[in-house]
Protein backbone atom coordinates (compact mmCIF):
# COMPACT_ATOMS: atom_id res chain seq x y z
CA UNK A 1 0.00 0.00 0.00
CA UNK A 2 1.20 3.57 -0.72
CA UNK A 3 3.44 4.88 2.07
CA UNK A 4 2.09 8.44 1.92
CA UNK A 5 -1.50 7.16 2.09
CA UNK A 6 -0.63 5.18 5.20
CA UNK A 7 1.20 8.05 6.88
CA UNK A 8 -1.94 10.18 6.62
CA UNK A 9 -3.81 7.62 8.71
CA UNK A 10 -0.98 6.52 10.97
CA UNK A 11 -2.44 7.95 14.17
CA UNK A 12 -5.71 6.12 13.61
CA UNK A 13 -3.88 2.90 12.76
CA UNK A 14 -1.80 3.09 15.95
CA UNK A 15 -4.86 3.85 18.09
CA UNK A 16 -6.68 0.89 16.50
CA UNK A 17 -3.70 -1.41 17.18
CA UNK A 18 -3.87 -0.46 20.86
CA UNK A 19 -7.65 -0.96 21.07
CA UNK A 20 -7.14 -4.61 22.06
CA UNK A 21 -4.98 -3.70 25.05
CA UNK A 22 -1.70 -2.10 26.19
CA UNK A 23 1.41 -2.94 24.15
CA UNK A 24 4.99 -1.82 23.60
CA UNK A 25 6.20 -0.35 20.29
CA UNK A 26 7.37 -3.63 18.74
CA UNK A 27 4.09 -5.35 19.62
CA UNK A 28 2.13 -2.42 18.13
CA UNK A 29 3.91 -2.92 14.80
CA UNK A 30 3.35 -6.67 14.95
CA UNK A 31 -0.34 -6.08 15.65
CA UNK A 32 -0.64 -3.63 12.73
CA UNK A 33 1.05 -6.11 10.43
CA UNK A 34 -1.08 -9.04 11.63
CA UNK A 35 -4.43 -7.23 11.49
CA UNK A 36 -3.70 -5.71 8.08
CA UNK A 37 -2.63 -9.11 6.73
CA UNK A 38 0.82 -7.63 6.06
CA UNK A 39 -0.70 -5.01 3.73
CA UNK A 40 0.70 -2.10 5.74
CA UNK A 41 4.41 -1.98 5.21
CA UNK A 42 5.69 1.20 6.83
CA UNK A 43 9.25 1.69 8.09
CA UNK A 44 8.91 0.27 11.63
CA UNK A 45 10.50 3.36 13.20
CA UNK A 46 7.59 5.53 12.03
CA UNK A 47 5.40 4.17 14.79
CA UNK A 48 7.51 5.75 17.58
CA UNK A 49 6.96 9.42 16.65
CA UNK A 50 3.26 8.54 16.32
CA UNK A 51 3.19 6.95 19.80
CA UNK A 52 4.91 9.99 21.34
CA UNK A 53 2.67 12.43 19.47
CA UNK A 54 -0.48 10.59 20.59
CA UNK A 55 0.78 10.55 24.16
CA UNK A 56 1.47 14.28 23.98
CA UNK A 57 -2.13 14.78 22.81
CA UNK A 58 -3.38 12.81 25.84
CA UNK A 59 -4.75 9.95 23.70
CA UNK A 60 -2.23 7.44 25.07
CA UNK A 61 -0.55 6.87 28.40
CA UNK A 62 2.69 4.99 28.93
CA UNK A 63 4.59 3.27 31.71
CA UNK A 64 7.78 1.27 31.98
CA UNK A 65 7.37 -2.42 32.84
CA UNK A 66 9.95 -5.15 33.35
CA UNK A 67 9.42 -8.16 31.07
CA UNK A 68 10.06 -11.75 32.16
CA UNK A 69 13.38 -11.58 30.33
CA UNK A 70 14.35 -8.76 32.70
CA UNK A 71 14.26 -6.19 29.88
CA UNK A 72 12.46 -2.90 30.64
CA UNK A 73 9.84 -1.90 28.14
CA UNK A 74 7.67 1.13 27.63
CA UNK A 75 4.06 0.00 27.35
CA UNK A 76 1.40 2.25 25.81
CA UNK A 77 -2.33 2.16 26.49
CA UNK A 78 -5.34 4.08 25.23
CA UNK A 79 -6.65 6.70 27.65
CA UNK A 80 -10.40 7.39 27.94
CA UNK A 81 -9.83 10.38 25.66
CA UNK A 82 -7.98 8.10 23.20
CA UNK A 83 -10.82 5.56 23.20
CA UNK A 84 -13.32 8.33 22.39
CA UNK A 85 -11.03 9.71 19.67
CA UNK A 86 -10.73 6.24 18.11
CA UNK A 87 -14.53 5.80 18.13
CA UNK A 88 -14.93 9.16 16.41
CA UNK A 89 -12.27 8.39 13.79
CA UNK A 90 -13.81 4.97 13.20
CA UNK A 91 -17.21 6.56 12.50
CA UNK A 92 -15.69 9.18 10.17
CA UNK A 93 -13.66 6.50 8.36
CA UNK A 94 -16.72 4.26 7.82
CA UNK A 95 -18.63 7.17 6.33
CA UNK A 96 -15.67 8.16 4.13
CA UNK A 97 -14.93 4.60 3.07
CA UNK A 98 -18.58 3.95 2.18
CA UNK A 99 -18.74 7.15 0.12
CA UNK A 100 -15.53 6.29 -1.76
CA UNK A 101 -16.73 2.72 -2.41
CA UNK A 102 -19.99 4.04 -3.86
CA UNK A 103 -18.11 6.55 -5.95
CA UNK A 104 -15.68 4.00 -7.36
CA UNK A 105 -18.46 1.50 -8.04
CA UNK A 106 -20.06 3.83 -10.58
CA UNK A 107 -19.18 2.74 -14.13
CA UNK A 108 -19.43 4.55 -17.39
CA UNK A 109 -22.79 4.02 -19.01
CA UNK A 110 -22.48 2.37 -22.43
CA UNK A 111 -24.37 4.29 -25.14
CA UNK A 112 -27.57 2.54 -26.24
CA UNK B 1 25.71 -2.37 12.91
CA UNK B 2 22.88 -1.73 15.40
CA UNK B 3 25.32 0.11 17.68
CA UNK B 4 26.37 2.37 14.78
CA UNK B 5 22.71 2.99 13.91
CA UNK B 6 21.92 3.92 17.53
CA UNK B 7 24.88 6.29 17.54
CA UNK B 8 23.69 7.96 14.34
CA UNK B 9 20.16 8.30 15.76
CA UNK B 10 21.50 9.74 19.04
CA UNK B 11 23.44 12.32 17.03
CA UNK B 12 20.40 13.20 14.93
CA UNK B 13 18.24 13.58 18.06
CA UNK B 14 20.88 15.82 19.63
CA UNK B 15 18.58 18.86 19.19
CA UNK B 16 16.59 17.64 22.24
CA UNK B 17 18.68 15.65 24.78
CA UNK B 18 15.67 14.96 27.06
CA UNK B 19 13.63 13.54 24.19
CA UNK B 20 16.64 11.57 22.99
CA UNK B 21 17.03 10.00 26.47
CA UNK B 22 13.36 8.94 26.41
CA UNK B 23 13.31 7.60 22.87
CA UNK B 24 16.65 5.77 22.51
CA UNK B 25 16.09 2.98 25.10
CA UNK B 26 12.73 2.20 23.48
CA UNK B 27 14.25 1.96 20.01
CA UNK B 28 17.18 -0.12 21.23
CA UNK B 29 14.63 -2.47 22.82
CA UNK B 30 12.70 -2.65 19.55
CA UNK B 31 15.79 -3.47 17.48
CA UNK B 32 16.79 -6.21 19.92
CA UNK B 33 13.29 -7.71 19.72
CA UNK B 34 13.38 -7.56 15.93
CA UNK B 35 16.83 -9.16 15.87
CA UNK B 36 15.64 -11.99 18.15
CA UNK B 37 12.74 -12.63 15.76
CA UNK B 38 15.13 -12.99 12.81
CA UNK B 39 15.95 -16.53 11.65
CA UNK B 40 19.28 -17.92 12.81
CA UNK B 41 22.02 -17.22 10.31
CA UNK B 42 24.44 -14.47 9.47
CA UNK B 43 24.11 -11.93 12.33
CA UNK B 44 25.45 -9.00 10.30
CA UNK B 45 22.92 -9.73 7.56
CA UNK B 46 20.11 -10.02 10.14
CA UNK B 47 21.10 -6.65 11.67
CA UNK B 48 21.13 -5.08 8.21
CA UNK B 49 17.58 -6.35 7.55
CA UNK B 50 16.35 -5.13 10.94
CA UNK B 51 17.77 -1.63 10.35
CA UNK B 52 16.46 -1.51 6.78
CA UNK B 53 12.95 -2.32 8.07
CA UNK B 54 13.23 0.27 10.85
CA UNK B 55 14.05 3.17 8.52
CA UNK B 56 16.63 5.89 8.06
CA UNK B 57 17.92 7.41 11.34
CA UNK B 58 17.86 11.03 10.12
CA UNK B 59 14.41 10.65 8.61
CA UNK B 60 13.16 9.21 11.92
CA UNK B 61 14.77 12.01 13.96
CA UNK B 62 13.05 14.51 11.65
CA UNK B 63 9.70 13.03 12.63
CA UNK B 64 10.42 13.86 16.28
CA UNK B 65 11.01 17.54 15.54
CA UNK B 66 7.38 18.66 15.87
CA UNK B 67 6.96 16.62 19.09
CA UNK B 68 9.96 18.36 20.58
CA UNK B 69 8.87 21.82 19.37
CA UNK B 70 5.36 21.32 20.75
CA UNK B 71 6.72 20.21 24.15
CA UNK B 72 9.02 23.24 24.46
CA UNK B 73 6.33 25.66 23.32
CA UNK B 74 3.75 24.25 25.75
CA UNK B 75 6.24 24.36 28.59
CA UNK B 76 7.04 28.02 27.87
CA UNK B 77 3.34 28.95 27.71
CA UNK B 78 2.57 27.23 31.03
CA UNK B 79 5.63 28.84 32.67
CA UNK B 80 4.48 32.29 31.51
CA UNK B 81 1.04 31.83 33.09
CA UNK B 82 2.59 30.46 36.32
CA UNK B 83 4.98 33.45 36.44
CA UNK B 84 2.07 35.86 35.91
CA UNK B 85 0.21 34.21 38.83
CA UNK B 86 3.37 34.44 40.95
CA UNK B 87 3.57 38.18 40.16
CA UNK B 88 -0.06 38.63 41.33
CA UNK B 89 0.65 36.83 44.61
CA UNK B 90 3.83 38.86 45.19
CA UNK B 91 2.10 42.15 44.34
CA UNK B 92 -0.76 41.37 46.74
CA UNK B 93 1.66 40.29 49.48
CA UNK B 94 3.68 43.48 49.09
CA UNK B 95 0.56 45.71 49.12
CA UNK B 96 -0.65 43.96 52.27
CA UNK B 97 2.72 44.42 53.91
CA UNK B 98 2.84 48.13 52.96
CA UNK B 99 -0.57 48.59 54.63
CA UNK B 100 0.50 46.71 57.77
CA UNK B 101 3.82 48.55 58.04
CA UNK B 102 2.08 51.83 57.14
CA UNK B 103 4.48 52.60 54.32
CA UNK B 104 3.12 55.43 52.19
CA UNK B 105 4.41 57.72 49.47
CA UNK B 106 5.76 61.12 50.41
CA UNK B 107 3.91 64.20 49.05
CA UNK B 108 6.65 64.86 46.46
CA UNK B 109 6.58 61.25 45.24
CA UNK B 110 2.79 60.92 45.08
CA UNK B 111 2.33 62.19 41.49
CA UNK B 112 5.14 59.99 40.13
CA UNK B 113 3.79 57.01 42.09
CA UNK B 114 0.33 57.52 40.62
CA UNK B 115 1.72 57.49 37.08
CA UNK B 116 3.86 54.41 37.74
CA UNK B 117 0.89 52.66 39.40
CA UNK B 118 -1.21 53.24 36.27
CA UNK B 119 1.55 51.85 34.02
CA UNK B 120 1.97 48.90 36.41
CA UNK B 121 -1.75 48.08 36.40
CA UNK B 122 -2.20 48.26 32.60
CA UNK B 123 1.02 46.36 31.91
CA UNK B 124 -0.03 43.63 34.34
CA UNK B 125 -3.53 43.14 32.87
CA UNK B 126 -2.12 43.15 29.34
CA UNK B 127 0.54 40.60 30.39
CA UNK B 128 -2.15 38.40 31.98
CA UNK B 129 -4.28 38.63 28.80
CA UNK B 130 -1.41 37.84 26.39
CA UNK B 131 -0.10 35.10 28.73
CA UNK B 132 -3.48 33.34 28.84
CA UNK B 133 -3.93 33.91 25.09
CA UNK B 134 -0.54 32.26 24.42
CA UNK B 135 -1.49 29.24 26.58
CA UNK B 136 -4.82 28.78 24.76
CA UNK B 137 -3.25 29.42 21.36
CA UNK B 138 -0.50 26.85 21.90
CA UNK B 139 -2.90 24.25 23.36
CA UNK B 140 -5.35 24.68 20.48
CA UNK B 141 -2.91 23.36 17.85
CA UNK B 142 -2.48 19.58 17.71
CA UNK B 143 1.10 18.42 17.09
CA UNK B 144 1.43 17.82 13.34
CA UNK B 145 3.43 14.99 11.79
CA UNK B 146 5.59 17.44 9.84
CA UNK B 147 6.57 21.05 10.59
CA UNK B 148 4.62 22.37 7.59
CA UNK B 149 4.38 26.08 6.75
CA UNK B 150 1.14 26.57 8.71
CA UNK B 151 2.70 25.06 11.86
CA UNK B 152 5.81 27.20 11.48
CA UNK B 153 3.55 30.27 11.27
CA UNK B 154 1.74 29.06 14.42
CA UNK B 155 5.11 28.80 16.22
CA UNK B 156 6.09 32.30 15.11
CA UNK B 157 2.81 33.70 16.46
CA UNK B 158 3.28 31.83 19.74
CA UNK B 159 6.85 33.20 20.01
CA UNK B 160 5.53 36.73 19.41
CA UNK B 161 2.95 36.29 22.20
CA UNK B 162 5.68 34.98 24.54
CA UNK B 163 7.92 37.93 23.72
CA UNK B 164 5.14 40.51 24.28
CA UNK B 165 4.15 38.88 27.61
CA UNK B 166 7.77 38.77 28.78
CA UNK B 167 8.31 42.45 27.91
CA UNK B 168 5.05 43.41 29.70
CA UNK B 169 6.07 41.41 32.78
CA UNK B 170 9.39 43.26 32.59
CA UNK B 171 7.50 46.57 32.66
CA UNK B 172 5.50 45.29 35.67
CA UNK B 173 8.69 44.32 37.53
CA UNK B 174 10.34 47.67 36.71
CA UNK B 175 7.24 49.59 37.89
CA UNK B 176 7.10 47.53 41.08
CA UNK B 177 10.77 48.26 41.66
CA UNK B 178 10.16 52.02 41.26
CA UNK B 179 7.09 51.89 43.56
CA UNK B 180 9.06 50.00 46.22
CA UNK B 181 11.97 52.47 45.96
CA UNK B 182 9.60 55.47 46.24
CA UNK B 183 8.27 54.32 49.62
CA UNK B 184 11.28 52.39 50.88
CA UNK B 185 12.29 52.93 54.51
CA UNK B 186 15.38 51.08 55.76
CA UNK B 187 13.89 49.76 58.96
CA UNK B 188 13.01 46.39 60.50
CA UNK B 189 10.90 44.36 58.08
CA UNK B 190 12.22 46.21 55.04
CA UNK B 191 13.69 42.95 53.81
CA UNK B 192 10.16 41.62 53.08
CA UNK B 193 9.43 43.84 50.04
CA UNK B 194 13.05 43.46 48.92
CA UNK B 195 12.76 39.66 49.00
CA UNK B 196 9.37 39.82 47.21
CA UNK B 197 10.90 42.07 44.54
CA UNK B 198 13.86 39.72 44.14
CA UNK B 199 11.51 36.75 43.62
CA UNK B 200 9.52 38.75 41.06
CA UNK B 201 12.69 39.64 39.13
CA UNK B 202 13.85 36.01 39.45
CA UNK B 203 10.55 34.79 37.94
CA UNK B 204 10.97 37.21 35.06
CA UNK B 205 14.55 36.06 34.50
CA UNK B 206 13.44 32.41 34.49
CA UNK B 207 10.73 33.20 31.92
CA UNK B 208 13.15 35.11 29.69
CA UNK B 209 15.59 32.16 29.86
CA UNK B 210 12.86 29.63 29.07
CA UNK B 211 11.58 31.63 26.10
CA UNK B 212 15.14 32.11 24.81
CA UNK B 213 15.75 28.37 25.21
CA UNK B 214 12.56 27.53 23.31
CA UNK B 215 13.63 29.90 20.51
CA UNK B 216 17.14 28.39 20.39
CA UNK B 217 15.63 24.92 20.38
CA UNK B 218 13.34 25.83 17.47
CA UNK B 219 16.38 27.14 15.54
CA UNK B 220 18.32 23.88 16.21
CA UNK B 221 15.36 21.82 15.05
CA UNK B 222 15.05 23.91 11.89
CA UNK B 223 18.76 23.29 11.23
CA UNK B 224 18.18 19.55 11.42
CA UNK B 225 15.39 19.81 8.86
CA UNK B 226 17.54 21.85 6.48
CA UNK B 227 20.41 19.31 6.56
Average pLDDT of the segment spanning B115-132: 92
User: Cα–Cα distances in Å, from B74 out to B81, B132, B185, B211?
Assistant: 11, 12, 42, 11
Query: Which carries the bigger pLDDT value, residue B145 or residue B71?
Result: B71
| pLDDT, tens digit, 9 for 90 and up, residues B95-109 | 888 888 777 778 888
Q: How many CB pairs under 8 A join A and B?
A: 64
The pLDDT assigned to A2 comes to 56
**Within its chain, how far is the Cα of B103 from the centroid?**
37
Pairing of strands A72-78, A23-24: antiparallel
Chain B stretch 122-151, residues whose beta carbon is closer than 8 A to a beta carbon of chain A: 142-143, 145
The pLDDT assigned to B222 comes to 67
Q: What is the CA radius of gyration of chain B?
A: 25
Residue B119 has pLDDT above 90, yes or no: yes
| Residue A23 DSSP one-character state | E
Low-confidence ranges of chain A (pLDDT < 50): none
Mutation for A interface: B10, B26, B36, B143, most A CBs within 10 A: B26
Q: Which sign, positive or negative, has the C-alpha torsion B133, B72, A11, A84?
A: negative
Flag if B143 and A57 touch (Cβ within 8 Å): yes
User: Cα–Cα distances in Å, from B24 out to A22, A105, B126?
Assistant: 20, 47, 42
Edge-to-edge strands of the sheet including A60-66?
A23-24, A72-78, A60-66
| pLDDT, tens digit, 9 for 90 and up, residues B22-38 | 999 999 989 988 888 88
Sorting pLDDT into bands at 50, 70 and 90, what band is B20? very high
Where is average pLDDT lowest: A99-103, B36-40, B136-140, B142-146? B36-40
Residue B14 has pLDDT above 80, yes or no: yes
* Nearest 10 degrees: Cα torsion B205, B206, B212, B216: 140
Sorting pLDDT into bands at 50, 70 and 90, what band is B122? very high
| pLDDT, tens digit, 9 for 90 and up, residues B160-208 | 999 999 999 999 989 988 888 888 777 766 787 888 888 888 888 888 8
- Residue among A44, A50, A72 minimizing CB distance to B55: A44
- Residue among A24, A45, A49 minimizing CB distance to B54: A45
Flag if B32 and A71 touch (Cβ within 8 Å): yes
| 3 state SS of A71 | coil
Burial B68-83 (b: 16+ CB within 10 A, else e): bbbbbbbebbbbbbeb
A38 phi-psi bin (left φ>0, alpha ψ -120 to 50, beta other): left
| 3 state SS of A107 | coil
- Kindly indicate whether the ipTM for this predicted assembly is greater than 0.90, answering yes or no: no
Residues of B in contact with A7 (CB under 8 A): 145
Pairing of strands A23-24, A60-66: unpaired
Flag if A52 and B67 touch (Cβ within 8 Å): yes
Chain B stretch 58-87, residues whose beta carbon is closer than 8 A to a beta carbon of chain A: 59-60, 63-64, 66-67, 70-71
The pLDDT assigned to B24 comes to 94
| 3 state SS of B2 | helix
Amino acid sequence: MEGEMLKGHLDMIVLAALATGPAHGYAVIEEIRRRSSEAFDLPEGTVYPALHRLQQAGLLSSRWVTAESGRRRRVYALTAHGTRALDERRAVWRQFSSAITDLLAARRRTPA
Amino acid sequence: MIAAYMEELAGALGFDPALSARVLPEIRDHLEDALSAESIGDRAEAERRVIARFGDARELAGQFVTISLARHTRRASVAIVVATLAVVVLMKARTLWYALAQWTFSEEARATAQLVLTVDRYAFWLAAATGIASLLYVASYPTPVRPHAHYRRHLRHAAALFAVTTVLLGVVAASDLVLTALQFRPEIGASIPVVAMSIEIGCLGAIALLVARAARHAANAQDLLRR
